Amino acid sequence: MASDQTPSPTPSGARAVMSSGDVSRALRRVAHEILERNKGPADLVLLGIPSRGVPLAHRLAAVIAEVEGVSVPVGSLDVTMHRDDLRRQPTRTVTPTKIPASGVDGKVVVLVDDVLYSGRTIRAALEALTELGRPRAVRLAVLVDRGHRELPIRADHVGKNLPTSSAERVQVVLAESDGGLDEVRISGGER
């Protein structure tokens, strides 16, 4: 019922850098890359990082299911308690961590997040993951890599590399969490 969906109006001062179609194509490519790198869906576990990493993980799983006819386990990994910036912000809401029944020991865990920026969230995720078990390998898939890393962390699979200035804000809008059509926007900063 695409005709019912009205695109969320891009707020003034923001510009869209990925449309709904761009997001969908990028995710299909990332899903294929994951399968290619893993030589198939065996032992894969997708863990989304709340909040928007979780629907992205489910979408990747859906593409994989479509391509391979196999449903790979999907979970969520809350990293709040492991962040190193808790004291710099108001108290964050904690969301549940849901690990698939198969666990993570000996699996290939793909962490999924919307935007890769400083790398601190991923550091926290790696630490949180350590407490849950010992995966055979951990990979990282993100929809957008906007640069400005503060830690030696890189993504294995990137939907779009987006050069930004650190004054800018990158916002990912997803139908599942925000309503409307998918979009990636940049706002603020001086170009």
Partner 1 sequence: MTRKHLLSSADLSRDEVEAILDTAASMHDVQRREVKKIPTLRGRTVINLFFEDSTRTRSSFEIAGKWMSADTINITGKGSSTSKGESLRDTVKTICAMAVDALVIRHSASGACHQVAQWVDASVINAGDGTHEHPTQALLDAYTLRQRLGSLDGRHIVIVGDLAHSRVFRSNVITLGRLGARVTVVAPPTLMPSGIGDWSARDGFATSWDLDQTLYAASPGDRPDAVMMLRVQRERMSGGFFPTEREYTAGYGLTRERLTRLYAATPDLPILHPGPMNRGLEISAEAADATSSAILDQVSAGVAVRMAVLYHLLAGETEAAA
Nearer to partner 1, 100 or 147 (CB): 100
Nearer to partner 1, 13 or 90 (CB): 90
Cβ at position 100, least distance to partner 1 in Å: 14
Binding residues among 76-135 for partner 1 as defined by CB under 8 A: 78, 80-82, 86-97, 127-128, 130-132
Residue 129, number of CB atoms within 10 A of its CB: 21
Residue 144: enclosing H or E segment and its boundaries? strand 137-145
Nearer to partner 1, 21 or 106 (CB): 106
Whole-angstrom distance, CA of residue 179 vs CA of residue 185? 15
Contact between 109 and 129 (Cβ < 8 Å)? yes
Cα pseudo-dihedral 119, 95, 7, 67, rounded to 10: 80
Cβ at position 82, least distance to partner 1 in Å: 6
- Given 3-state DSSP classes, what are the helix, strand and coil percentages for the chain, each rounded to the nearest 5? 30, 25, 45
Cβ at position 90, least distance to partner 1 in Å: 5
Cβ at position 83, least distance to partner 1 in Å: 8
Task: Identify the CA nearest to 67 among candidates 32, 43, 39, 33.
Answer: 32
Nearer to partner 1, 17 or 132 (CB): 132
Structure-token pair, residue 40: 């198939």
Nearer to partner 1, 12 or 93 (CB): 93
Binding positions for partner 1, rule: CB under 8 A: 78, 80-82, 86-97, 127-128, 130-132
